[in-house]
Each structure stands twice: as structure tokens, then as C-alpha cells.
Amino acid sequence: MRSLLMLGLLATGTAGAATPQDYAWQWPIETKGEASAYVLELDADVLANVTRSDLRDLAVFNAKGQPVPFAPWPSESKDEARREPLAWLHVPLPAAGQPESLNLRLERDSDGRLRGLDLRADVAAPPPDQQHDLLVDRGEDEPPVLSRLHVQLDAAAVRPINLRVHVSASNDLDRWETLASGLPLVALDDNGLRIERLQLDIAPTQARYLRLSIEGEGNWPAIEALQAERLIAAGDGREWKAIELAGTPVADQPGTFTYTSAAPAAIERLDVRLDGTNSVSALGVSAREPASEWWQPVANFTAFRLGTGKDEVRHVAPDVGLHREREWQVTSQPALAQAPTLVLTYQPDRFVMLAQGEGPYVLVAGSGRAAREDYPVQAALAAASAPPQPATLGARSESGGAQALGPKRGEDWQRWVLWGVLAVGAGLVLVVSLRVLRHPKAE
């Protein structure tokens, strides 16, 4: 009996030990030099071969076919975009047809910021009050780098607004450098849809003064606030990559389209590209896993394409947090006749492996019967003196092939041995019990 139990335990342990053949695909890991740990970046081409959205069917084996400690390696922090309010003044413009020969008088407060400014052309008649530029004083000799401005309209602003903005920068209010031109500033109402693009993307600058001018005809609307956006980089050097998906119309649901992504990449941004020019639609984007019946809302926004060529204006794509779903759905109102292109943007996943055992090492992916163990890799590396070194992947090749994608069945002899041992043990217990019942021990 004891021998049978030992054989059963041995069969169980053998059945649980994964090998590279339990995974469909493999990639050789190419390392340089010797290190105790290596970091791999896995893009959508690798993740397209996994079967689990939690990426647990990714593993690393050494030259002896033994599993190596392998785990996700998240970034310590994310880039952060901060918005800060800006102070601005109106700069009157000369009358039409008059040269800009300006007299400048400045007033500053105790902190050195502009408090008052008189800037007028040398002409007899003063220009109308509404014809002006915006002069921004950032109030520091070396302010932080900014690359984006946000315009917040006043509640009294009159729509429609369709302007083009020129932005220049200076440190002395004398010499000016162009940062951007032809930037759209749009706020429209179209059949109940609010169309807005109030974001001005400019070349990065540390200049103290910014001047915002309207190009061509038109005047500034009533503005409640101006904000500067600056990016605080976290030192994450991963490149942003995009997955473009074509949609399929949903039967009996006009304006609804579904999309399928081959890879459960870590999606953080998305965009919907409308096919037709001068198009606008209110969109709802949702996602789900293939086995799920319910769609999870991801984003709601108004997508538009207005104008043609270099004058075309598009919506600002939203950030959506983190999503790994493979199925996506876009609903549109008014219903779009053609499926728009869904663009999913992500940064490649980083994984770290410990150099345990002899190399070369291989990365394996795609399994219906094996899952990676949870290794305390980060705790081990926290005690190490040297950081993990980068490694790259070679060409993909087949490991266990399509057979590894399904659960083990008839060829899993360990399972049959285990069931056989249990059946024999149960039979022996039954035989012993019957003997005891037929021949009870005498008093």
C-alpha cells in the first residue's frame, strides 16, 4: 500500500513539471556579457502568441529545460502631465493697413510679473478693443519646459469658433521666435454635437513670454483661463507603438463595428480615424475578453474631421488607462456608414529573468496546459547590487506546436498512472474491509 502511494505522488510531481514542449512557440534569448538578471521587452508580435490575457503562459527555460524565475518588470512610475494656470494680458493691434510701429509701456508687480501693459501703434485712431493678441508672462527667468497650451472658454464665448493661432516666444519682449503656426482653435455645435479642439501643441520652450496671435480674420473669443501643460518624464525609455485594426459591421446594429486584436497588449491610448472628410460622430468605445458576454465601457468622445489638406482639423484622442482586452466595439451616432480605423497605442511589456542555470535561455509562449509560477523576482533583485541588463529575442520557432495549445488528453500517461494507482488503492481498501467484516476478531 505504501509503495502504491509513493508511486502516485511521483506521478503527480512528474505531471506538474512543465517543459518547453508544453508551449507552442519559442525565441532564443540573446544576452551580452554575464549578469545575474536580464530585462526583455515584449511587443505585440510576441504577445500575439499567448493564449492568456494575464500573460501567465509566458516562461523562460535554461539549456537543461528547467524553468527560470521570470516575472513582469513594471516601471517605477509613469510620465505625468501637469497643468498650470497662466497669466495673460491683451495686446492691442494696429488698425488694418497700418504698420506695427509700437510704443511699449510695462508695469510690474513686486514679484516681477507683468501687471499692466500699453502697446499701441503710432496712428491717430486707436484700434478696436477686440483686435488684440494674448501676451503670457510665465513669471520666471528659467521656467519649466512646456509644449502644450489649453484654452478654456468663458461661458459667454460666442460660438461657432473656427480660428487659426500663431504662437511665438521671447525672453526680452524684443526678439521673437515662432513656436507654431496654423494651430486650430475650434468650438462648434453641430446638431447637438459639441465639437471642440482647444489644445495648442507647440515646440517645447522655456521662454518667459509667449504671444498668441490670430492668423487671418477673426478675433479672440472670451477666455476664462489659459493653462500650460508640461510633461514630467519618469525616465521610462520604452517607445510608444500602435496597433491599427479594421472594423466589421454588426448585423442589425447600424453604426456599430467590432474589432479583434491578436495581442493582449497594455493599451493606454486609443484613437478612431474616420474614413470620410468633413465627418463627425459621437463615439462610444468598449472592450471585452473573447469569452465574456459583456462589453466594458472604455471611452466616450466626439470624433471629427473638418476641412481638407493642411487645413484639416481633427479631434484630440483620449487616454484610457490600462486595458488588455482583445475584442473592441465602436458605436457611432449619427451612424457611420463605413467602419473607422481603431488605433490602439501601447508600450511594450517588460519582463525580467534571473540567470539561473546554464544558458542559452529560451522564451516560450502559448499553452493550454501550463502556467508560469509566481516568482519573487523583484524581491530578489532588490537585494542585488547590480541592475538587470537588457536582452533581446532572436527569431521565433516552433516548440510544442499546436499540440501545446490544447489540454493534455490521452498522451498524458502520468494522469492515467495516477488514476490507476488510486483505483488499485481503493480496490485494496475495499478487499481489506470485506475480510474484516466476514471474519471479525474474536473477543
CATH code for the domain in which residue 246 is found: 2.60.120
Whether 182 contacts 173, CB under 8 Å: no
Question: Residue 256's pLDDT is what?
Answer: 97
Q: Does 39 share its domain with 181?
A: no
Q: Does 302 share its domain with 377?
A: no
Q: Is the pLDDT of residue 342 over 90?
A: yes
Q: Does 294 share its domain with 387?
A: no
Q: Does 284 share its domain with 148?
A: no
- Asked if residue 434 is part of any domain, the answer here is no
Whether 153 contacts 221, CB under 8 Å: yes
Give the three cell numbers for residue 62.
535554461
List the one residue out of 28, 128, 58 whose CA is nearest residue 351.
58
Residue 105: which pLDDT band, with cuts at 50, 70 and 90? low
Q: Does 128 share its domain with 227?
A: yes
Q: Does 264 share its domain with 362?
A: no
Whether 413 contacts 12, CB under 8 Å: no
Q: Is the pLDDT of residue 332 over 50?
A: yes
Q: Is the pLDDT of residue 314 over 60?
A: yes
Q: Does 308 share its domain with 224?
A: no
Q: Which residues pair with 288 in a beta bridge?
A: 327
Instruction: Kindly report which listed range (82-96, 120-134, 137-151, 298-312) carries the lowest average pLDDT score.
Output: 120-134
- Give kind and range of the element (H or E) at residue 161: strand 161-170
Question: Residue 418's pLDDT is what?
Answer: 64
Give the CATH number, domain containing residue 154.
2.60.120.260
- Asked if residue 436 is part of any domain, the answer here is no
389-390/37-42 β-pairing: parallel
Q: Does 52 share its domain with 26?
A: yes
Q: Is the pLDDT of residue 376 over 50?
A: yes
Residue 104: which pLDDT band, with cuts at 50, 70 and 90? low
- Asked if residue 40 is part of any domain, the answer here is yes
List the one residue out of 364, 320, 378, 343 whose CA is nearest residue 42.
364
Residue 2: which pLDDT band, with cuts at 50, 70 and 90? very low
- Asked if residue 143 is part of any domain, the answer here is yes
pLDDT in tens, 378-412: 777 776 677 889 999 999 999 989 888 887 654 45
Q: Does 264 share its domain with 330?
A: yes
Question: Residue 230's pLDDT is what?
Answer: 84
Question: Residue 417's pLDDT is what?
Answer: 63
Question: Coil, strand, or helix at residue 158?
Answer: coil
Instruction: Kindly report which listed range (49-58, 106-115, 323-332) carries the lowest average pLDDT score.
Output: 106-115
**Portion of the chain with pLDDT greater than 90, in percent:** 48
Cα 151-156-159 angle, rounded to 5 deg = 75
- Asked if residue 64 is part of any domain, the answer here is yes
Q: Does 110 share its domain with 219?
A: yes
pLDDT in tens, 124-151: 444 445 578 999 988 766 788 899 999 9
Q: Count structural domains, the chain.
A: 3
Q: Which of 232, 260, 275 is the last residue of a domain?
A: 232
Q: Does 264 share its domain with 300?
A: yes
Higher-pLDDT residue of 424, 2? 424
Q: Does 228 share its domain with 84?
A: yes
Question: Residue 38's pLDDT is what?
Answer: 93
Q: Which of 295, 319, 346 is the last residue of a domain?
A: 346
Question: Residue 138's pLDDT is what?
Answer: 87
Residue 183: which pLDDT band, with cuts at 50, 70 and 90? very high
- Asked if residue 203 is part of any domain, the answer here is yes
- Asked if residue 439 is part of any domain, the answer here is no
Report the C-alpha gap between 13 and 6 in whole angstroms. Answer: 11
Whether 264 contacts 349, CB under 8 Å: no
Question: Residue 419's pLDDT is what?
Answer: 65
Which structural domain range is residue 273 located in?
Answer: 241-346
Q: Which of 177, 201, 232 is the last residue of a domain?
A: 232
List the one residue out of 114, 125, 119 whose CA is nearest residue 102.
119
Report the C-alpha gap between 374 and 179 in whole angstroms. Answer: 50
Question: Coil, strand, or helix at residue 436?
Answer: helix
Average pLDDT over residues 147-173: 92
Higher-pLDDT residue of 112, 47? 47
